Every structure is written in C-alpha cells, then in structure tokens.
Structure 1
Amino acid sequence: MSNNEPTSAEQGPRSEAWKTALTMLQTAQPPSIPEGAEAMTVLIEYPPGDPGTPPHRHSGPAFGYMLEGEMLFELEGEPERVIKAGETFWEPGGDVIHYQDGNNRTDSWSRFLVTMLCAPGQPMLTLVDDEELAQRKDRRAPRPA
C-alpha cells in the first residue's frame, strides 16, 4: 500500500464486543417532532433535596437517562414516580406540563442527561404560570396523600 496505513491483516483480530455491547434501555412510540427541530443534550445536576424546575413544558420531545441519585418525575395526566440511577424517562413535549423533576434524595446529588428536540425559534423550556396550573388542575393525576 502506498499510504502507510496498516492492512486489515496487520491490524490484528477484530473485536467481537460490538455484537453484545448494545443494551436497550428505552423504546417509545415516535413522538411528534417539530419541523426543523434542533437537538440538544443537556446535563442537569440538583443538590440534595432540591425541588428542581418549576412546572414547565418543552417545545418538543425529551428523552432522559438518570446518571446518579433519584428524581421525582411527574407529567400531566400521569402519577408522580421516582426515576433511579440507570433508568430512563421521556416526555412528548408540546402542550404537556412537566410538573416535577426534583431531587428525590436529601442525602445526595441527582444528575441526569436529557436530549431534547426543540422547535425552531422557541425556547427549550417555558415555565407555566399559576393561572394556567389552576385552569388545568383537572388534568393532573391524583397526588399521594
């Protein structure tokens, strides 16, 4: 060969690890993706006991993976649940209110990654005001006593 790159015989045996390296963590029905969406991946880190972002919505779907700790997660129409390290979550975005994403632990940090598909020209996160929360209170799942 004229270019000093090794031939496949000189590279040695190929790895077979790729055949078992993939672990499926989450599948979801394809959500509506805004035309011309921009994808972004963000790291969120909350200190112990932090309540997280106030009620909000995203302009497009969001897919997340809990790296460390626990998150109290609640979407409009669904009961709140705890997401633990190694677990995934997703939300459709659009008109769905995301009520909670706070740290469920008071003794450790929570860290999670989120990949969001944002509608062009719109913020990736919009807070929901108290008036709208009151108007839509019937859409929120019953809260634990």
Structure 2
Amino acid sequence: MTPEERARRSAAAMWRSDAASRWLGLSLDAVGPGWARMSFTVAPHHLNGHGICHGGYIFTLADSAFAFACNSYNRVAVAQHNTISYISPARAGERLVAEAREVSLQGRSGIYDVTVRGDGERIVAEFRGCSRIIKGTHFDEQTAPEVDRAIEGGDT
C-alpha cells in the first residue's frame, strides 16, 4: 500500500464517522500523507452579529482539516493544543478552503499549520494544531479493501 492510499483509506474511515463535519456541510476535497484540504461555503446561518462568518465555523473548518492531515498515517491522532489567528472576515456566499500541512512529526507528537483562504486566495485565518498519536488505527491494513469513494469524487 502506498502512503497516498493509506492516507485516502484513513480519511475515508474517519469521514464515515465524522457526523459533525458532514452536518456542517464541510467537504473533504483532498488528502495525502501529512496534508488535507477541506472547504465549505459560508451561508447566512453561519454569520455572527457583525454580518460576517462566525469564528467558530472557521475554527471548525481548520480543525477538521488538521484532523484529516494528522490522521493520514492510519494511526489515531487527537488534538493536544490549537491556536487560530483571524486575519480577514469571510462573508455569506464565500467559499472557504482550509489547507493543512504537516510541519513536524516526532514520535507521537505532530505540528500542523492550516491556512484558511477565501475568495481571491485572501487569507482568512491561520491555525496551528499540535497532535498526539494514541492507540489504534482507522482500518486493518491486512484486509486492504478498495479505497472508499469518499475522497475520489464520491460521498463528500
């Protein structure tokens, strides 16, 4: 199994159980070893009292991209610590794209940076997530069924 296949299968297994991301309308667009890209469109119900996207939704998008990136090795990883800096507001109708990239993975601890961009590649937020690998895997690598359609244009 290639690292790319492992990342896709790990993501497909997680996506099936990720009711929160699906319910919020997030889309898992792409994943690979140590990285992931997710997106969603800001709807009127995502707006706060200032008429801009509530920071909690932006944080959730970044946190979910971080989760898929740090779980891409078929080793269960959880968040240890996260921070976010909001750079510019997102508006209703805007498509937000979060790209998570691994900065460091040493032993069981990882650091991931996530950039959330809006229209015109404008940076909306910068997120840093620290992960910790715990016991468990997302799938049995010995059975190796077909890669799920969740990442290959199917059920995202």
TM range (shorter): under 0.3
TM-score, scaled to structure 2: 0.23
TM-score, scaled to structure 1: 0.24
Structure with the larger RCO, 1 or 2 (CA within 8 Å, 6+ apart): 1
Larger radius of gyration: 1
Higher helix share: 2
